Structure 1
Amino acid sequence: MTPLPSLAQAAPAPSSEAELDALLSRPGFGVGGALDALGGDLLLLGAGGKIGPTMARMARAALDAEGSSAEVIAVSRWSDPETRRLLEADGIRTVSADLADPSVYATLPDAAGLYYLAAMKFGTVGAEHRTWWSNAAIPALVADRYRGVPSMVYSTGNVYGLRPLAAGGSNETDETSPVGEYAQSCLGRERLFGYAAAEWGTPTTIFRLNYACELRYGVIADIAATIAAGDPVDVTMPAVNVAWQGDISSWALRSIELGSSPARILNATGPETVPVRTIATLLAERMGREVVFSGEEAADALLSDASECFELYGYPTVSLRTLIGWVAEWVGSGHRQLGKATKFQQRAGAY
C-alpha cells in the first residue's frame, strides 16, 4: 500500500464542522490492516468525549475499506444525544452505560479489541473522590471484564511531570513523577491495566498523549481564543508539544497491534518543542490581532519525546504551521469552540 498524502497537501482548511469531522475521521496508513487483524468487533469505552466520536468514525471507515463487517461499538453515557445519533447514522453501534456503575459490566458486549478512552480531568479539584473512582476504580472493573482482550488504553504525559527545557521531552523509559491528584490517578489507571497485562496476559498498550489539537479544542485553539478575546496569553508554561488529532487517532487505533504482556508504553505528540510565545505570535499574525503576554517563562515544562511513535507510524500528516493557520482561520471566523479549555498553563497539577 502507498502511504496517504499529507492532509496539508490533500485538503484546504475545513470551513464547516462537517468538513472538520470528515478530516479528523480520515484513516491514516495502516489503520485498517491493524483493526482487521483483530478478527472481530471493536469496543470503544468512553466514546462520547472529545476524541471518541471521530476515532469511532475513523475505525468504521478503516474497516469498511478493508471489506470487514466487524462492528464498531461506542459506549458512553451520551450526554449529547445528537452525537449518538450521528454516530449511528455512520454505521456505528452505540451502547448507553455508566461505567462508574459496577452493575453494568455484565451487560457490556464482548469484543476482539478494546479501546479505553474514559477519564476525568477537569473539575478534579474538590472532587478528588470522583477523580480516583473514574481514573483508577473504573479501569479495574474494565480490565477484569475484558481479561485477555487486546487493549489500547489512553493515558497522559502528565504522569511524567515537568522536565527541564534543556533535557527535552520524557521518553517511555523515564521514571514517572506525577504532580497533583489528576496525574497520580492516571498513573493508577496505568498500573491497574498493567496488572491485567502482567497477571492475566491481556495484550496492552498504554498510549500517553500530550497534546491532541483540532480547531475547536486544544492548546492552539485555547491560545487563539485568548487572543480573540483580547486577553493576555500566559507563558508561564513556556513550551508544549502538540499534534493534529487525526494523526493521534490513527496512531492510537494502530497501536493496539503493539499490545503485550507486560504492557507496552507509547508516547504520542508532535515532534516540535514549540514555545507558547511562538504559537501565540503566529496565531496573532494570521488573525490580524495584537497579542499581549503575561507571566514569565519557567525553566521547565510538560514535554514528551514521541520519536518511537514516529519511527513506527511516521511523522504527522499536518504540520505545526498548517495546524496553526487552520486554527487561526477557524477561530478568527467565529466558528464554534467546544468550550473545554485544556488548562495547559497549569503547573501544579490542579485541574
Structure 2
Amino acid sequence: MTTDVIPRIPASAPGDEAALDELLSRPLPGVGEALAATGGDVVLLGAGGKIGPTMARMARRALDGVGSSAKVIAVSRFSDAAVADGLREAGIEVQAADLADPGAYRALPDAAALFFLAAMKFGTTGAEHRTWWSNAAMPALVADRYRGVPSVVYSTGNVYPLTPLSHGGSVETDPPAPLGEYAQSCLARERIFTHAAHTWDTPATLFRLNYACELRYGVVADIAVRIAAGEPVDVTMPAVNVAWQGDVAAWALRSVELAGVPPHVLNATGPETVSVRRLATWLAEDMGTEVTFVGTESDDALLNDSAECHERYGYPTVPLRRLVRWVAEWVSGGGRQLGKATKFQQRQGNF
C-alpha cells in the first residue's frame, strides 16, 4: 500500500485546533515509505515542542497508511500534560525524559530512525550557558546513545549569514557564518553530529529550517498578532522565507532517506523571498484593518534557498497567499496562539 495521493487542502482555515492538528499531520506522499524503509521504530527526541507533535502524528498516520506496525515514540519533558495525552490518543508511545540530564539516556528507547528536535532558542540572551548545554552538549549525548542510527537533526538557517536580497538566499554549500551565540551553538550541534557520522558511521541529515508557520505560531502569525493589537510592524528585516508546518514536517520525515556519511545538508522553507511589508499589507487587508510600519528596510536578510528540497519533495501544498489568509482568519477570530514569537526581526542574533 502506498500514499501517492496529495491530501486535498481546504480553501478556508481550520475551524478549531482539532481540525488544525488533523490538517497539519496529514501525511504527504512518500513519508510512510521512507519511514518503513528504516525497518523499525521511529523515535522523536524533543517531541513536545512546536513541531514535534505534528511530526509524531504524521509519522504514525503515514506508517499506518503503508501497513507498518513500527512504533512511533515521542520523548520530551512534556511540561504540558495535554500534549502527551493528545499524542497517546493518536497511537503514539510517549516517554517522559529530561534530555538535559546525562543520566536519562540509559532509559531512552532504541530506534531504527531518530529525529532530534530538542533545542533552545528563546531566552538565549542572558542564559548562554543553558543555550550551549542544550544545543551542543545534549547533541553529544544523543549522538553517543544513538550510534549508527540514521538521524535527522533539526538545525536552522541562522547558521548562515545575512545575504543581499538580490542573492536569492543561502544554499547548502555556502559556508556557515553564524551571528550570535544561538546560531553559533546550532553550528556546534551540526559539527557534533558530523563527528558522530565520521567516527561511528552514523548516517545523518542536517535539516536547516527557517521558518515553519501554522496558525498559532510562526512569522505570519507574529505579524498578524501585532496588527490585531494595533502595534506597528518592524520592517528592518526586510524579507523572510516561510512554509506551512505540515509540509516542513513531511520533508523532515522523508529526509531520513537522505541520511549519509558525511551528513546530507538540506535547507527547508518556502520558495518565495517575501517582503515583510507585503506580508503585513496582505494580513491587514484580510483582517479588514490598517497596518503601520516602523524601521527602514535593510538591503540584506536571513534567507534560505530550498531549491533542492523542492526538487526532491515538491513545492508546499499550502500556497503562501492561502497561508496568510488562513492566519488572518484565525487571528481575527480569536484563535489561540502558542505565545512563542519567532523574533524573526533580530539582525544581531540575540534571542
1:31–1:254: 8 Å Cα contact kept in structure 2?
Answer: yes
Partner of 1:154: 154
Query: 1:145 maps to which residue?
Result: 145
CA spacing shift, 1:5–1:67, aligned 2, 3 Å: closer
Matches within 5 A, 1:50-199: 50-199=50-199
Deviation at 1:2, TM superposition (A): 7.3
- CA–CA separation in structure 2 for the residues paired with 1:312 and 1:128: 37
Q: Displacement, 1:12?
A: 3.1
CA offsets per residue over residues 181-229 of structure 1, 9 Å max, x none?
Answer: 0000000000000111112110100000010000000000000000000
Q: Secondary structure of the equivalent of 2:257?
A: helix
Partner amino acid, structure 2, of 1:283: L
Q: Distance in 2 between matches of 1:34 and 1:2?
A: 11
Q: Aligned to 2:98, what secondary structure does the other structure show?
A: coil
- Cα separation, partners in 2 of 1:301 and 1:184, compared to 1, 3 Å: same
Residues in 1 aligned to 2:212 and 2:8: alpha-carbon distance in whole angstroms: 16
Amino acid aligned to 2:33: G
Cα separation, 1, equivalents of 2:180 and 2:37 = 39
The DSSP-based 3-state class of the residue aligned with 1:69 is coil
Shift of 1:156: 0.1
Structure 1 residues 134, 2: closer, same or farther in 2, change over 3 A?
closer
Partners of 1:289 and 1:62 lie apart in 2 by 40
1:26 aligns with 2:26: yes
Amino acid at match of 1:335: G
- The aligned residue for residue 16 of structure 2 is 16
Structure 2 residue identity aligned to 1:78: F
Structure 2, unmatched stretches of 5+, are none
What secondary structure, in the 3-state scheme, does the structure 2 residue paired with 1:223 have?
helix
What residue in structure 1 maps to residue 304 of structure 2?
Answer: 304
TM-score normalised by structure 1 residue count: 0.98
Matched with 1:279 is 279
Structure 1 residues 121 and 7: CA distance shift in structure 2, 3 A: farther
- Residue 5 of structure 2 aligns with an amino acid whose one-letter code is L
Contact 1:6 1:318 (8 Å CA) reproduced: no
CA-to-aligned-CA distance 1:122-151 (integer Å, 9 cap, x gap): 000010000000000000000000000000
Q: Deviations over 1:55-109 (max 9, x none)?
A: 1000000000111110000000010001101110111000010001111111111
Counterpart residue identity of residue 124, structure 1: T
Q: How far, CA to CA, are the matches of 1:339 and 1:238 in structure 2?
A: 23
Please give the alpha-carbon distance, in whole angstroms, between the structure 1 residues aligned to 2:175 and 2:350: 21
The 8 Å contact of residues 171 and 267 in structure 1, kept in 2 or not, is answered as: yes
User: Aligned partners of 2:161, 2:119: CA distance in 1, in Å?
Assistant: 18
Normalised by the length of structure 2, the TM-score is 0.98
Report the residue type matching 1:163 in the other structure.
T
- Distance of aligned partners of 1:57 and 1:6 in 2 relative to their CA distance in 1, 3 Å threshold: closer
TM-fit CA distance, 1:167: 1.0
Residues 136, 188 of structure 2: 8 Å contact kept: yes
- Distance, in Å, in 1 between the alignment partners of 2:215 and 2:22 is 13
Mapped pair 1:4 → 2:8: no
Instruction: Note if contact 1:7-1:318 (Cα within 8 Å) is conserved in structure 2.
Output: no
3-state SS, counterpart of residue 267 of structure 1: strand
What letter corresponds to residue 41 of structure 1 in structure 2? D
Offset of residue 6 of structure 1: 6.1
Q: Which residue pairs with 1:220 in the alignment? A: 220
**Partner Cα separation in structure 1 for residue 301 and residue 279 of structure 2:** 15
Q: What is the distance in 1 between the residues matched to 2:8 and 2:160?
A: 31
The CA distance in 1 between the partners of 2:94 and 2:267, in whole Å, is 29
The alpha carbon displacement at 1:5 in A equals 3.7
Whole-angstrom CA distance in 2 between matches of 1:99 and 1:171: 31
Secondary structure of the corresponding residue to residue 208 of structure 1:
strand
C-alpha RMSD of matched pairs (Å): 1.0
Q: CA deviation at 1:7?
A: 4.4
Unaligned 5+ runs, structure 1: none
Partner of 1:342: 342
C-alpha separation in 1, matches of 2:8 and 2:332: 21
Which string of whole-angstrom CA distances, capped at 9 and with x for unpartnered residues, describes residues 22-52 of structure 1? 0000001100000000110000000000000
> Residue 155 of structure 1 contacts residue 206 of structure 1 at CA under 8 Å; is this kept in 2?
yes
- Once residues 23 and 181 of structure 1 are traced to their aligned partners in structure 2, the CA distance between those partners, rounded to angstroms, is 35
CA distance in 1, matches of 2:56, 2:201: 26
How far did residue 11 of structure 1 move?
A: 5.4
Kindly report structure 1 stretches of 4+ aligned residues shifted beyond 2 Å. Answer: 1-8
CA offsets 1:295-350 (integer angstroms, 9 cap, x no match): 00001000000000001000000000000000000001111000110000000000
Residues 53 and 83, structure 1, Cα contact 8 Å, conserved in 2: yes
Q: Residue 233 of structure 1 contacts residue 293 of structure 1 at CA under 8 Å; is this kept in 2?
A: yes
Instruction: Tell me what 1:241 maps to.
Output: 241
Deviation string 1:220-248 (CA, Å, 9 cap, x unpaired) is: 00000000000000000000000000000
How far apart, in 2, do the equivalents of 1:212 and 1:37 lie? 26
Counterpart in the other structure of 1:261: 261
Cα distance in 2 for residues equivalent to 1:273 and 1:345: 15
Q: 1 CA distance for matches of 2:124 and 2:327?
A: 28
